Amino acid sequence: MIVLGVESSCDETGLALVDTETGLLSHALYSQIAMHQEYGGVVPELASRDHIRRALPLLEQVLREAKIDKSAIDAIAYTQGPGLAGALLVGASVACGLGLALGKPMIPIHHLEGHLLSPLLASKPPKFPFISLLVSGGHTQLMRVEGIGQYTLLGETLDDAAGEAFDKSAKLLGLSYPGGPAISRIAESGDPSVYTLPRPMLHSKDFNFSFSGLKTAVLTVVKNHPGELSEQDKANLARAFVDALVDVIVAKCSSAMRHSGLKRLVIAGGVGANTQLRAGLNAAAAKKRFEVYYPELEFCTDNGAMIAFAGAMRLKADPAQAQCDYAFNVRPKWPLAELKAI
Ligand code: ATP
Ligand code: MG
Ligand code: FE
């Protein structure tokens, strides 16, 4: 069966087609980053309006690339939440309007489940059960995953998410939004011995995180620095930031692997694209003898493929997941724990 996926929870419009038997058929993404860059972050109203402009041309594109007509779509999955209310409403109304017109059933998807299952789109997908590290712009969570919809939260950030810490620290260094890739790039040429930043909650003996203090530590260095930071100073500070953040995440993941007794660690979310984090996790995995899985780079940040794929997995596991219910509602705040197992 062919599932169309529609993602619009933040500043990316993503559409994709997934075949429940053969996998991803096509996907298309429009990122609004350039539009939001001049404001230093996502402007919700601008995001909603742009989703309206992009959704239908992207639909045409994925149909063309998959060489199918829209009548061949069997079900439509869309991001119901969490995310920006207006942005979610655009995707939900496009998806449900299409479903109503075509007489096809709908599968509302939790955005974080989309991220969580995105590594299963890779050529060598991990098998259940596994420990999942979700590191995105809005979340940092460690979970035990037994199957679709069976997610037990082990720990999460008590304040800023890892991606948020990247973005805020990058802003302090005068780098453009989104700061994750930018700070990671300059950190490559940073000297790790110049600054040492705190490793928050490294020894807290639980699976929680806290990153707001790390951002404040970056701010303190910037403020106390006589005159402007040179490019090399910025690189050194970026390196100290990345080293501290990676140390904490790697330690918590290793400890979750040890406690769970599981052998597979699966990464998801935008920060999962980070080179230094991947190197740190790979080194720990080799030493502690567990395997680590990542999504393809293009599926770390928001995309339609992960939503279509989550829809396809749900549909395959239980066809009753898809229902001809077009009276959509969105859930801007929606704890993952409320999802029902199938
Ligand atoms: P959520 O899914 O929690 O609602 P989101 O959808 O905004 O949040 P993602 O799209 O998964 O989050 O990821 C975006 C975040 O990932 C941004 O904070 C961005 O800075 C960060 N990011 C992207 N690439 C990298 C990278 N190479 N290194 C570090 N951070 C990165
Ligand atoms: Mg985004
Ligand atoms: Fe996301």
Question: Which residues, 6 or more positions from 329, have their beta carbon under 8 angstroms from its beta carbon?
Answer: 80, 92
Q: How far is CA 81 from the centre of its chain?
A: 13
- Asked whether residue 262 falls in the same domain as residue 157, the answer is yes
C-alpha 157 to ligand 1 mean position (Å): 15
C-alpha 291 to ligand 2 mean position (Å): 28
- Asked whether residue 272 falls in the same domain as residue 324, the answer is no
33-61 confidence digits (pLDDT tens): 999 999 989 999 999 999 999 999 999 99
* Amino acid making up residue 224: N
* 137 marked as binding residue: yes
Nearest CA to ligand 1 atom 20: 180
Residue 264 counted as domain residue: yes
pLDDT above 90 (res 219): yes
Residue 122 counted as domain residue: no
306-334 confidence digits (pLDDT tens): 999 999 999 999 999 999 999 989 999 99
- Asked whether residue 47 falls in the same domain as residue 191, the answer is no
Task: Find out whether 293 and 125 touch, Cβ atoms under 8 Å.
Answer: yes
- Asked whether residue 76 falls in the same domain as residue 140, the answer is no
Which structural domain, as residue segments, surrounds residue 192? 127-294
C-alpha–C-alpha distance, residues 146 and 129, integer Å = 4
CATH number of domain containing 315 = 3.30.420.40
Query: From edge to edge, which strands make up the β-sheet containing 130-135?
Result: 150-156, 140-147, 130-135, 264-268, 291-293
Cβ–ligand 1 contact at 180 (below 6 Å)? yes
86-123 confidence digits (pLDDT tens): 999 999 999 999 999 999 999 999 999 999 999 999 99
Task: Find out whether 58 and 15 touch, Cβ atoms under 8 Å.
Answer: yes
- Asked whether residue 282 falls in the same domain as residue 309, the answer is no
- Asked whether residue 60 falls in the same domain as residue 133, the answer is no
* 167 marked as binding residue: yes
C-alpha 11 to ligand 2 mean position (Å): 5
Q: How far is CA 110 from the centre of its chain?
A: 12
- Asked whether residue 154 falls in the same domain as residue 205, the answer is yes
- Asked whether residue 147 falls in the same domain as residue 272, the answer is yes
- Asked whether residue 245 falls in the same domain as residue 154, the answer is yes
- Count: domains in the chain: 2
Would residue 269 be called left, alpha or beta, if left means φ above 0 and alpha means ψ between -120 and 50 degrees?
left
C-alpha–C-alpha distance, residues 132 and 235, integer Å = 30
Which atom of ligand 1 is nearest the CA belonging to 139?
3
177-200 confidence digits (pLDDT tens): 899 999 999 999 999 999 999 999
* ipTM above 0.90 for this complex: yes
